[in-house]
Amino acid sequence: MAAHGIATQHKQGLSNGMLGFILFLASEVMFFGGLFAAYFIARADATEWPPENMLTAEQIARGVKLEVEFALPFIATILLVLSSVTIQFGVLAIRRGDRTALIRWLMVTIVLGLVFLTAQMYDYSQLHFRAGDTVYGTTFYTLTGFHGAHVAGGVIFMGVMLARSMAGQFSAASHEAVEACSFYWHFVDVVWIALFTVLYIVK
């Protein structure tokens, strides 16, 4: 019988690394699932939403208003969805072996991610409620905050990909980390679309 190595890597289909990464993303889905559950239960419990009736006299005196701006988050949403497209262009480029284009698209995507984060910070600074102002404030800042942290994580991830590609790594045959990075970024994007829908659109 021919000598087999001990199996360390499957040759076809998903690589071990990608499979592991997808499992990691599944656990992330469950994490956000828990947060979304909390949000839906809070809304289901509320007699009105936003729950202005839960505000104390002290909070009203402080000028707390439970309302969000729509325009800026909407623009940020469009940019984030666009950034999913740009990173995919990067992936398609490196699949052809075009590292220069990958670098370009990574830069564009990183800028879009940073613009999103800046817009979120600015949006936070304009709001008239804090995390402690009823469960509305708590869920809003927790959900968007954890998502924002994931955007920041994604920007760092892309930064590493950018540094590695500028150092001459990745080729048409070997660019798994870039694929994983794009998976992560799409995941962050999809979570945001769900968040934007429930936080800003569904009344």
Partner 1 sequence: MTSIVIPRPEGYARPRSALLDWLTTVDHKKLGILYLYSTMFFFGVGGILALLVRTQLAVADNSFVGNDAYNQIFTMHASAMLFLFIIPVWAGFGNYVVPLQIGAADMAFPRINALSFWLVPPAGILMFSGFLVDGGAAQAGWTAYSPLARGLGPGMDLWIIAVILLGVSSTIGAANFMVTMFRLRAPGMTMFRMPIFCWTMLVTSVLQLLATPVLASALAMLYIDRNFGGAFFDPNGGGNAILWQNIFWFYSHPAVYIMILPGMGIISEVLPVFSRKPLFGYKAFVFATMGIGGLGFSVWAHHMFTTGAVLKPWFGFMTFMIGVPTGVKMFNWLGTMWRGSISFEAPMLFALGFLSMFLIGGINGTFSAAVPVDFALHDTYFVVAHIHYVLFGGSVFAVFAGLYYWFPKIWGRRLNEKLGQAQFWLMFIGFNLAFFPMHLLGLDGMPRRIATYSNESGWEALNMASTVGAFLIATSMIPFIVAVIAAFMRPKDQPNDPWNANTLEWWTTSPPPVHNFDDLPEVHSERPLFDARQSGAGH
Q: Which of residues 161-190 bind partner 1 (CB under 8 A)?
A: none
Answer for the pair 66, 129: CB distance below 8 angstroms, yes or no: yes
Q: Give the span between the Cα atoms of 107 and 110, in whole angstroms.
A: 5
Site string for partner 1, 22-61 (x = CB under 8 A): -xx-xxx-xxxxxx-xx--xx--xx----x--x-------
- Closest to partner 1 by CB, 93 vs 151, is 151
- Closest to partner 1 by CB, 64 vs 91, is 64
- Closest to partner 1 by CB, 33 vs 159, is 33
Q: Which of residues 82-141 bind partner 1 (CB under 8 A)?
A: 130-139
The distance of closest approach from Cβ of residue 55 to partner 1 in the complex, given in angstroms and rounded to an integer, is 9
Q: What residue ranges bind partner 1 (CB under 8 A)?
A: 1, 3-10, 16-17, 19-20, 23-24, 26-28, 30-35, 37-38, 41-42, 45-46, 51, 54, 130-139, 142, 146
